[in-house]
Structure 1
């Protein structure tokens, strides 16, 4: 939407109907512009004087007003009402009231209006004590209607009423909207002189001050709404974090399924223990084989439960080896063992000892035992039967006996081997088919040999299609070289496995993020037969991470923008207070001095003197408020001068001994960095006064290459920075937290070094403005 008119005009139209016909306001703003209709509150936008709209919007508002009132002169009445009720911008209002009459104020107001008029140029041809000639030159490339002329005629007619004069008499010999080159207004007003009018003109600025304060309160409400928008963004960030928690819960459920599988493995006892030998995990099969319940076993040393005395030295040695393990795998030789049960009996088992190494935690060791009692019993029965047969066939030749023994041994070994293979295949197939992540087998060229249902569902291919698929079709071209290099390193024996995150192309052409683990499967002689590959879909995790990063960056940018907007508004308010209200108060004090000298009675002089004293107090307070809002020392003299001024202020107010050290080098910084450093320095000095109980502070301002460094060191009590950080996180700590975030946004940082009894050193580091550095060089 183009910007031709300040919303001062739309606000005047809306307020006219709010005071007379509030029920028709929705109809007044109906159908103005598609962009306005998309806003949450179009009326609020049109009432905000800092906003701008196109000429089309104002034309439609006047059309709606004329349709509602059936009055062809409604635009004139709205303009007249806005002037008589002083509904102008508060800067124009103060100037009009300050200069007391139309002749002196028209030219001053016009200089202000020229900055805001984008659809016309106003020319003041001449002015006298009771008349003026004004021409409005409308821009032909911007839409305009007769209502614009009527609205301005109403304003110029009503301006004399601001000084309690009758409305002006306005004649229009030329009109742009009737074919002339411009609109020309001949304005006359009546001048009156009386003591009452003089007093009214003198006291009117106080009403202007009240209206100005009301405008400032509305600006304050606008800032509150902006902070509410930031709060809504924080709520959206929390929703994204909740989604991450849901994903974490899904992972925990997957882990629970795996634990349930281990818990109920038939005939396979699994014990988990730490490097100190204490039991961490004890499954159902362990309870059945050894007689201890999980509650009895967990927390006790495994050596005290099932390890026989003769095997304890070897077990202790194995613990030491497992505690130093850097990668997962077997750390003790597997084989048959005779272990103890709760009742003191011994049970034969086949034991496998393996260690699991996870980054950031100590190694966790597992003992996996298969009960051999039944096999041993069968073997014992066979031995007894063989002895019996030998007694029966003693007459047979030694050759027959030897052959018979060999045959029995081969049969037994084959049965054992076949049974172990069947059990192993069943376990592997169960895990393979039921795993929640994609699992497959690659040949040595990287082509699929097998794949579980989770893999085919993830990639969108059937198992037959995967076997015929060219492996390069699954990866984007830019990721193929890295994957091929890693796979070749596995085939050459230089790498045991590799894990990586990357993108994978599905059958439908879409890309998903996956975590891939590839490890070799070797034969009895160590040759690589094929590769085991596992795929896990992490697309959602990547999306959530990206969204969180984007929201964090938006929050940092919005906070910085709000801070700069706030500071500029403070400077603008300070300038307004100094240039207008301060001048008006000073002029009022001078006039009261003149009135006091001319007063006839002592009582009147006393009253006037008291009023002058009140005005003097208002002037001093206005000057102090101007300095606090505008920080002129920072913007006029620079950061280093502002630092010295701030040190003097704290030294005078709190009795601190503060010394400032400067290196004399140029330190070009942008507006945002200057303001942020000054605010942070004041925050640090305030903390010294409140908490440090210090008597002296050293401030060092120096340049280190392309960076500015400011150090603040005190001789106070000191503190533990870690504890302060935790406390700030729990209770809010918004001041330093917000400044740290804005420093990070500018590429800087804040370091705090402290210890109890040793004082505190805070260092602010920000990059200098590169453009200014080049110019200075």
Structure 2
């Protein structure tokens, strides 16, 4: 159990005991005073029993009606002021006929706190002390017989002492009330904190779901890019080589079997490479050429083989300090080179392609330029798609995933230039 719960439980127990005591105290004091009065064998003054019994019955009914049976009246200050005044009149009458009822008169102190408000509490205490002083001096008869000076003196002393004790009792009651309020505020604050924690837990769970969804989407995009950059390009190359072989056969150039055999061999090699890249894509590992060589050598190998297949002059230039980069950086640049060359083969009808790989202090850039027919970036084709299609979008996603940038410059008849720039994250750097 927490400290707050223990304090609250302790306050609740104390409050229940206090409530029970205050409910029963008037009846207990009245019963004790009645027994002492009625069982006393001798008296210095005659006791009128019917009067005493009548006052006892009236006081009991008065307490029962206001104090016990109608708790909803307890918040009605004027009504409870009337009740307190009546109770003090009955207490004065009992003390006047039998001094032992001074014991019952003590109930005026706690009930002044319980039912009176403001300065009326101190008035109630003064009245209770004055009535009690009658009992201290042996009853009203003695005061009438000449003890009124003593009664005034005892009353004044009783009032001063009672008011002093009452003042400290009120302070204690106010302190207890403030403690209860503080405890209630603490409980409310804890409830708000728990609600906030629950809300945060819900938000955390929602963020986890969104993170998983984002991870799934990112993985789908990665696979789509890899399939496009490897399988799709490989299959397109295979189709080109087989179409070339078919054209040779159709032109009845079978007397030169080496030409058709060369195209078939190229198609078989492309098929093997595509199968290898497909397997590596499934296992999410780096491309085979990067696993066996550094990035400049890997791009140069890709450019050389592409040039051999498409009979286009291709030159790679490397500048700066060529150093190992993070695998994601090298894969992004290699795939950009592959996709750029594939686009040149499909659309550019170029005679020369130049690639520039530049290592700078904080960036690594790859520029691919061709002297082909060019295009209007963003213009729509006849089928409704935009120039560049998924290839350019895939390249852009790759470099942007690394906080990089992809720029495309082209115009009809003026060739095309693609520039990819990514942060120079060294091998073994942070993901």
Same fold (TM over 0.5): no
Higher strand share: 1
Larger C-alpha radius of gyration, 1 or 2?
A: 2
Task: Answer 1 or 2: higher relative contact order, Cα 8 Å, separation at least 6.
Answer: 2
Query: Structure 2 length normalisation: TM-score?
Result: 0.36
Query: Structure 1 length normalisation: TM-score?
Result: 0.21
